[in-house]
Amino acid sequence: MTVKICLLKSNNDFDMEYTYIVPEHLVSEIDVGVFVTVPFGKGNSLREALVVSVGDFCGEVGFKLKKINDIIRKREKLSPDLVELCREMQKRYLCAFGSIVSLMMPPELPEKRKIKFVKLTADAERVSSLLLGNELRGIKQIRCVEVLRDSENNVISLEALQRDFDIQKSSVDTLVKKGIAEIFEEEAEFCVNTYNEFEKQGGTYPVHELNEEQVKAFNNIKECIESPLSSGILLHGITGSGKTEVYLNAIKYVVEQGGSAIMLVPEIALTPQIVSRFKSRFGENIAVLHSRLTAAQKRNEYEKIKEGIVKIVIGARSAVFAPCKNLKLIILDEEQEPSYKSYDSTPYYCADEIAFMRSRMCGGAVVLGSATPRVTTYYESLSGKLKYSYLGNRASKGTLPGVCIVNMREESEKIPGSVFSKTLFAAMKKNYEAGKQTILFVPRRGYAGKLVCGDCGKTMVCRRCRIPMTYHKKGGRLICHYCGNTITVPEKCPSCNSSVFNSRSIGTESVEAEIKKYFENADVIRMDADTTTGKEGHKVLLEKFEKENIPFLVGTQMIAKGLDFPNVTLVGVLNADGLINIQEYTAGERAFQLLTQVFGRAGRGDDKGYGILQTMITDEPLYSAAINQEYDSFYKNEIGFREAAGYPPFVHICTVNVSGIDDKGAFSLATKLRSETEKIYDRIRLSRKEDFAELFKVTRSPVPKLNNRYRWIFNIKSKSKDALLEIMEEFAYKTLTGLSAFEKEAFRITFDIE
């Protein structure tokens, strides 16, 4: 018997399938998905590998077949459908096989070592008096007591406190001195963290009888599940229309039929509230995969899923790889969220693509749920590739807030030296005096580096790509960081002929300072990258905002999500134009999603909410679509732009990114790679005459420097994804493997096809 294996640790040079002989004594144990060690290369050093197929292969002519050395028994076998998924992902993402396999393996159990733990010693009564009274001054100390109270046996490692909650030892020491907690040392697994916020939540949620729209949606999903062909459905429903209730019913149905289901939510939405809503419906039949589990806990959850002890998995992006048996349903809630795409490590997979790959293998259904679906998703539903269901009514009470647009070019709106318009300021004052809370939203990236017309507020955009260009003061030029196109700064604004340009931007700090100036003694919470360090920084500030009824919250994009505060009755967006001035073709779509979300924030409670959007651009169709929650009109406009300027879904884009500490070196390597690519590109284009394609110049990345590394990019566009894959396959396996050892070491080269 022989098998084909793939190495777990290899770069693209050796990333292929190799044939090995299975020794007699291992024959009974060998199977697809088993991990083995094999002698490899001239020196026959032992390498770890995965068996991808079993049969009687003859190997390559002229090579003597080697034997498998042994089976790695401590590694659990990967199920055949996941092995197939690995192979399919490799074709799609053109990355090392081992990096894909590692996405699907439960973590290995680490070595034991001595680590420090913190234990809560105060009793329940004391704890509640500590939390309610004012003996504890620091918010970190209060948070620490809460975390300890919610942890298993009231114990948590010091490391986890620091890492996940940003609580430093000094805060713990204070608690120890006061006799509230103690520190002790024990041999344990690395990174022990027994925080179980998801276990503690009890509560029951009412089961609702589905309304008419929900029933239709449910039946649509049921049809997908029952159909032997893989199929997907877009569940488009405004916030609060009862999508989750439909998911719960679909999952219940699948489980009753003996299948299993995966429910994906964006990392930030994976909260105890959502988990407990599922737990109250399905009890212990649920595994929750989240980033704070320890290796041992994660293995435990994997085990339960794999054995079929639990049929339902809830988790963030990577839970799409959960080893479910008889998988029949994968749901992506908030399908438009960028966090479904992995940006931080290769492969740069998209959870929705993986969901469809899995559904093709298992014949199950994929549900994409959203209030504001991606343009590409909606397009597919219109073209019939996806089924479609719409929920247009709020399932429970609550009304949409009244939102108005304030034109900042209007003299009568201006308050000298202020970022607030008269309308917004008056509303803030009224809200403050009524004891209500206000959220002010300041888009993060704003105008930085862009050239904006001082009269009409429009940004100078690239003629070809129709996205904002970057302004380089030195030399007075505008550069498109998409196609590399460079022009000199025009004398007059192409839209309104004005010759006044500016590049001013509003920051969260200046808004905070102004509030302090106008509203004496008013508390303000500011949330941006500076004030929310640590995983829990975000949460701590939001809790403070709610509990202490702080009148003002000022923040960047990060405050748009998941806020549900009954006392917030006013939401203001300062400089909405900053949202659409981003150098990405998805800027419009993101702006629409964000604005729809932030204005959904106001008026969750009994009082009606108000929203105010400040802008310089009065004829921006996106704004009126967002404030009136008109998805269709937004879509019509956006899809027109995508088609005219050549973006998905009409055109696929491959971005090659070269980064290095040496700026010049990264640029010249990018240039060299581009000319190599041009050769491949020319040849493939000839053989695929009909496919429109374009190869652009090397240009700085829209994020020119990250983690001390300079980034250069070039883009290729094509109507055919296959054409891009063909080009990039040769690029990955020939061009990249042919680089010098120095180039491979000093620079990082990644690419992404969308």
Q: What is the DSSP letter of 531?
A: T
Nearer to ligand ADP by Cβ, of 243 and 674: the residue is 243
The residue (of 505 and 735) whose beta carbon lies closer to Zn ion is 505
> How far apart, in whole angstroms, are the C-alpha atoms of residue 509 and residue 557?
15
Query: Residue 496 binds what, of Zn ion, ligand ADP, none (CB under 5 to 8 Å, by partner type)?
Result: Zn ion
Task: Mark the segment that binds ligand ADP (CB under 6 A) among 15-23, 120-128, 236-244, 466-474.
Answer: 236-244
From candidates 33, 98, 242, 323, binder to ligand ADP by CB under 6 A:
242
Considering only 168, 194, 211, 671, the residue that binds ligand ADP (CB under 6 A) is: 211
Q: Does 237 bind ligand ADP (CB under 6 A)?
A: yes
Report the distance separating Cα 318 and Cα 104, nearest Å: 9
Q: How many residues bind ligand ADP (CB under 6 A)?
A: 15
210 vs 580 by CB, closer to ligand ADP:
210
Which of 455, 549, 541, 437 lies closest to 494, judged by CA? 455
CA dihedral over 379, 382, 385, 391, signed as positive or negative? positive
Site membership for ligand ADP, residue 214 (CB under 6 A): yes
The verdict on 240 binding ligand ADP (CB under 6 A) reads yes
Instruction: Give the distance, in angstroms, between the CA of residue 437 and the centroid of all CA atoms in the same chain.
Output: 29
Tell me if 213 contacts ligand ADP by CB under 6 A: no
- For ligand ADP, the closer of residues 396 and 740 by Cβ is 396
Cα dihedral 521, 525, 531, 535 in deg (nearest 10): 140
Q: Which is nearer to ligand ADP, 277 or 290 (CB)?
A: 277
Long-range own/partner contacts, residues 276-280 (CB < 8 A, 24 or more apart): 276/198, 276/201, 276/202, 276/203, 276/205, 277/205, 277/244, 277/248, 278/248, 278/312, 278/314, 279/201, 280/202, 280/203, 280/204, 280/205
CB 321 within 8 A of CB 305: no
CA dihedral 198, 199, 204, 207 (to 10 degrees): 60
For the residues of 168-229, what is the DSSP string, one character each? -HHHHHHHHHTTSEEEEEEEEETT---B-HHHH-----PPPPP-HHHHHHHHHHHHHHHSSS
- CB 713, min distance to Zn ion, A: 12
Q: Are 106 and 117 in contact (CB under 8 A)?
A: no
Q: Among residues 527, 504, 536, which one has the least CA distance to residue 165? A: 536
Residues 545, 527: Cα–Cα separation, whole Å: 11
Residues in 506-565 that interact with ligand ADP by CB under 6 A:
none
Alpha helices in 337-404 (DSSP H): 351-362, 375-382
Does position 716 interact with Zn ion (CB under 5 A)? The reply is no
Q: Which helix (H) or strand (E) holds 752?
A: strand 747-753
Q: How far is the CB of 233 from ligand ADP (least distance, A)?
A: 15
Please tell me whether residue 496 binds Zn ion under the rule CB under 5 A. Answer: yes
When asked if residue 230 is in the footprint of ligand ADP (CB under 6 A), the reply is no
With CB cut-offs between 5 and 8 Å by kind, which of Zn ion, ligand ADP, none does residue 482 bind? Zn ion
Looking at residue 274, its amino acid is I
Among candidates 320, 316, 309, which has minimal Cα distance to 284?
A: 309
Which partner in ligand ADP, Zn ion, none is near 456 (CB below 5 to 8 A by kind)? Answer: Zn ion
Residue with tokens 């679906």: 373
Compare residues 6 and 395 and give the one whose CB is closer to ligand ADP. 395
Out of ligand ADP, Zn ion, none, what residue 208 binds, judged by CB under 5 to 8 A for its kind, is ligand ADP
Binding of residue 601 to ligand ADP (CB under 6 A): no
User: Which segment (142-150, 419-427, 494-502, 604-612) binds Zn ion by CB under 5 A?
Assistant: 494-502
Query: What is the per-residue binding string for Zn ion in 260-289, x denoting contact by CB under 5 A?
Result: ------------------------------
- Give yes or no for residue 350 binding Zn ion (CB under 5 A): no
The pair of structure tokens assigned to 108 is 């290995």
Asked whether the beta carbons of 317 and 351 are under 8 A apart, the reply is yes
Site for ligand ADP in 168-187 (CB under 6 A): none
- The amino acid sitting at 128 is S
Among 79, 196, 201, 485, binds Zn ion (CB under 5 A): 485
Q: Does 323 bind ligand ADP (CB under 6 A)?
A: no
Q: Does 396 bind ligand ADP (CB under 6 A)?
A: yes
Q: Say whether residue 244 binds ligand ADP (CB under 6 A).
A: yes
Considering only residues 415-474, where is the footprint of Zn ion by CB under 5 A?
A: 453, 455-456, 462, 464-465
Kindly state whether residue 334 participates in binding ligand ADP, applying the rule CB under 6 A: no
241 makes contact with ligand ADP (CB under 6 A): yes
Q: Which residues bind Zn ion (CB under 5 A)?
A: 453, 455-456, 462, 464-465, 480, 482-483, 485, 493, 495-496, 498
Q: Which residues bind ligand ADP (CB under 6 A)?
A: 208-211, 214, 237, 239-245, 395-396
